[in-house]
Amino acid sequence: MVALIPLLPFLGFLINASVGRRVSKSVSGAVACLLMIGAFGASVTAVLAAHNAPGRFIQETVFRWISSGDLQIPLAFRVDPLSSLMILVVTGIGSLIHIYSTAYMHEETDAEFARYFSYLNLFAAFMLVLVLGSSFPVMFVGWEGVGLCSYLLIGFWFRKQSAADAGKKAFVVNRIGDFGFILGMFLIFVTFHTLDFQEVAWRVSTWAPEIAVGPATIATLLLFLGATGKSAQIPLYVWLPDAMEGPTPVSALIHAATMVTAGVYMIGRNAVLFQHAPITLAVVAGIGIATALMAGTIGLVQNDIKRVLAYSTVSQLGYMFLAMGVGAYTAGIFHLYTHAFFKALLFLGSGAVIHALAGEQDLRNMGGLRKALPITYWTFLIGALAIAGIPPLAGFFSKDEILFRTFAHGNRIMWIVGLLTSFLTATYMFRLVFLAFHGDRRHPEHPAHDAHPAPDAHPAPDAHLHDAPPAMAIVLIVLAIGSIVAGFVGWPHAIGGANRIERFLEPSFEAHQMAPGEFQVIEGRASRQPRVELAAGVEPAVPGSQAVDERREIELMLLSVGIAVAGILVAMAFWLRNRAAATRVAYRAAPIYTLLLNKYYVDELYDATVVQPIKKLSTLLLWRGIDAALIDGAVNGVGGAVRGTSAALRRLQTGSIRAYAASLFLGVVVILGWYLMR
Amino acid sequence: MVTLNHYLILSGLLFCVGTAGVFLRRNLITVLLSVEIMLNAVNITFVAAGRYHGSVDGQIITFFVMTVAAAEAAVGLALVIALFRHRETLSPDAFTSLKW
């Protein structure tokens, strides 16, 4: 039954990929949406079943996939609290985005429409394999599959050069991360002789945490390299902003709510392993907070509505990695879950704006949309409040949890940078809101347009300025409600809540659940080695400390809310009240502004240090050197040698019979003479 | 007393005559005739050596050589006729169109 969850969207992919082009848009859209909703239903059933099962999880082996000596990998799916949450998010948000897409992609042709939905379904299927897989290789199948779908969907409008390039960039950058993931996987197999998540956690839980660099540290660092690729962290984040070339619902589903969180999920899935590699955890936290700050500052000055959201996503993912790095796995996954709601909402809201403005994405050409697009405006505002961390919206609980855990972890610098990022988040989000929805309507300048007026061809942009159509509006409203209430499951103890999500998720991050006894029941295999008691003095790997100073927590909460409000007020002062001031500041601090606008020149840096050297190497060494000189040289050389020898030897063919006869005669004489003289 | 050496000397002389014919004559038919002389010189050697060793092998080989020579003469003369029809000449130096 668990296998049904990824199979349903996969079926949708098969249907839409095979016959989609022959049926109308409503049929292919309905097939895709219904199968996603079916998958959501199956997920709910599976989650309930897992919740009531002994040990709070169910595992289903579909078939024995790889069987080679030591290596035994069943294609098995596992529903435990962590994957429960993930499949609900993937199928739930996924269904909403499918529904939204039926309206958003309506202007495509039937064939393109079906192609879009087949990719979207395939993505959902792979994402579900990724989160349900019970071992590294199964996860890796999903991991690569979502990468493929991401590539296909970023480059969905592949006739546009920039979209095709962005897809390629995403694919290549992800390849670097996947390389690390594979190596990490190999190292784990060599070290633990298994690739099953539970067994790895079980075996590593008998170790002492690795103070020096050892196999666990190296393996987790390699896995984390994979996570930086998939989840767009320094140094591999560069593909995500470019990925905005894809259709907006794709940005919402893949590049905000689900796929990019795969890295965070992967660390959560291997929490016990990472817990035994403190060096890796420090790296994870450092990279996370650095990415959060850097992306936040870039987001402050971007002018493309989707790019602002993209950098915001990178920044929020940085928060999640910060949580993972300080051992607050629950907080990280909690933020992943709330972020899925409000970031999907924000992206879909920006999609509604782009849809209404017929493709306009530049914030400088928007403004004053509040009255024309009321539903979009209000839902977008809720999303912005949620991401800024205003209570009691979803973002507040999860972000505050992360900041509090970071504080409790004892790293004050990271905590302060986290607060600063929180301020930046509120500022850039409300800059976006004010620039897009408030003020006066600004129009793009079209000098050519005025010179040749064509009344019927190009009506004024505002002529068809309409709010989101019903399918989009409903989704926006549902997600807005989600952004308000999703956080309540994590209502902290300090202000009278139960923090149910923490209790719910906790078992997934602990090793003792993976006792071999339970394994026997599930797998029905022969006995395993008895449980080894933890060595004395070794802390049991239970992430997250329970020592909570509740008063301190409330103080910190007030502080972070104050900072978020301050961020909004700053945005209000600059972009609502006095835009001239914002321009003046940008003019005064021109070097910084240019640096941020050009995204710290990281793309240029990568181009200069990686892309161009590889191009040079390929041109000079591989092409001119190896291919043209060596290989072509060898092939042409053989031909040339034969030709040269022939040119010499053909002189022997004089055409004179006497000369032939003489050589024959001489030859006989020489051979006979040699025999006689011997 | 005629010994084996006399036969071999005769054979050698005939062979030299044939060889000289092949090299020196400018007529393809004469060249073919010279080749026949060379073959028969060899035949004499075979027969003489066979007689000397008291075996019939030499005579048997001679019959083979004669048969092959007959076939060769037939083919060779046919070629000569065909060549003559093309070029109106039988000089071996005239047929050099396949040379480099």
Please list, residue by residue across A339-364, b when 16 or more beta carbons sit within 10 angstroms of its beta carbon and e when fewer do. Answer: bbbbbbbbbbbbbbbbbbbeebbebe
Residue type for A675, please? Y
Q: Give B-chain residues touching A656 at CB under 8 angstroms.
A: 92-93, 96
Whether residue A545 is predicted with pLDDT greater than 50 in this model: the reply is no
Report CA A97 to chain centroid distance, whole Å.
17
Distance from CA of A671 to the nearest CA of B (A): 18
Whether residue A145 is predicted with pLDDT greater than 50 in this model: the reply is yes
pLDDT tens column, A432-480: 999 999 888 887 655 444 444 444 444 445 556 788 888 899 999 999 9
Question: Of A650, A653, A656, which is closest to B93 when you measure between CB atoms?
Answer: A656
Question: Of B22, B23, B99, which is closest to A654 when you measure between CB atoms?
Answer: B99
pLDDT tens column, A230-264: 999 989 999 999 999 999 999 999 988 899 999 99
Helices assigned H by DSSP within A452-494: 470-485
pLDDT tens column, A581-591: 888 888 888 88
Task: Write down the pTM of the prediction.
Answer: 0.79
Confidence of residue A512 (pLDDT cuts 50, 70, 90): low
Q: Which two tokens stand for residue A311?
A: 């950098």
How confident is the model at residue A462, as a pLDDT? 56
Looking up tokens 């689900």, which residue turns up?
A258
Q: Which H or E element spans position A302?
A: none
B31 Cβ under 8 Å from any chain A Cβ: yes
How confident is the model at residue A206, as a pLDDT? 87
CB pairs under 8 A between A and B: 26
pLDDT tens column, A376-393: 999 999 999 999 999 889
- Give CATH for domain B26-91: 1.10.287.3510
Whether residue A200 is predicted with pLDDT greater than 50 in this model: the reply is yes
Distance from CA of A673 to the nearest CA of B (A): 16
Q: Which two tokens stand for residue A649?
A: 């030897």
Average pLDDT of the segment spanning A287-300? 94
How confident is the model at residue B90, as a pLDDT? 87
Question: Of B93, B98, B100, which is closest to A651 when you measure between CB atoms?
Answer: B100
pLDDT tens column, A653-678: 887 878 888 888 899 999 999 999 98
Beta strands (DSSP E) in A58-214 are 58-68, 71-79
Out of A9-13, A203-207, A348-352, pick the least confident.
A203-207
Whether residue A540 is predicted with pLDDT greater than 50 in this model: the reply is no
**Are B100 and A658 an interchain contact pair (Cβ–Cβ within 8 Å)?**
no
Q: Give A-chain residues touching B80 at CB under 8 angstroms.
A: none
Distance from CA of B98 to the nearest CA of A (A): 7
Share of chain A above pLDDT 70, in %: 91
Query: Which residue from B minimizes the CA distance to A656?
Result: B93
Q: Which two tokens stand for residue A483?
A: 């952004």
How confident is the model at residue A463, as a pLDDT? 55
Confidence of residue A522 (pLDDT cuts 50, 70, 90): very low
pLDDT tens column, A22-62: 899 999 999 999 999 999 999 999 999 999 988 888 999 99
B76 Cβ under 8 Å from any chain A Cβ: no
**Secondary structure (3-state) at A75:** strand
Whether residue A295 is predicted with pLDDT greater than 90 in this model: the reply is yes
Residue type for A558, please? L
For residues A508 and A121, the model is more confident at: A121
Whether residue A637 is predicted with pLDDT greater than 90 in this model: the reply is yes
**Are A650 and B100 an interchain contact pair (Cβ–Cβ within 8 Å)?**
yes
How confident is the model at residue A53, as a pLDDT? 87
**Secondary structure (3-state) at A442:** coil
Distance from CA of B1 to the nearest CA of A (A): 28
B7 Cβ under 8 Å from any chain A Cβ: no
Please list, residue by residue across A48-59, b when 16 or more beta carbons sit within 10 angstroms of its beta carbon and e when fewer do. Answer: eebeeeebbbbb
Q: CA–CA separation, A254 vs A121, rounded Å?
A: 12
Query: Which residue from B minimizes the CA distance to A666?
Result: B19
Confidence of residue A563 (pLDDT cuts 50, 70, 90): very high
Confidence of residue A517 (pLDDT cuts 50, 70, 90): very low
Beta strands (DSSP E) in A336-448 are none
Phi, psi of A211 (to 5 degrees): -75, -45
Confidence of residue B94 (pLDDT cuts 50, 70, 90): confident
Q: Give B-chain residues touching A655 at CB under 8 angstroms.
A: 95-99
Q: Give B-chain residues touching A665 at CB under 8 angstroms.
A: 19
B interface mutation test: which of A643, A646, A652, A657 has the most B CBs within 10 A?
A657
| Cβ-based burial of A365 (10 A; exposed 0-12, middle 13-18, buried ≥19) | middle
Beta bridge partner(s), residue A66? A73
Given 3-state DSSP classes, what are the helix, strand and coil percentages for chain B, each rounded to the nearest 5? Answer: 80, 0, 20
Query: Which residue from A minimizes the CA distance to B25?
Result: A658
Whether residue B87 is predicted with pLDDT greater than 70 in this model: the reply is yes
Domain ranges of chain B: 26-91
Whether residue A368 is predicted with pLDDT greater than 90 in this model: the reply is no
Whether residue A531 is predicted with pLDDT greater than 50 in this model: the reply is no
Closest CA to A401 of A312, A484, A502: A502
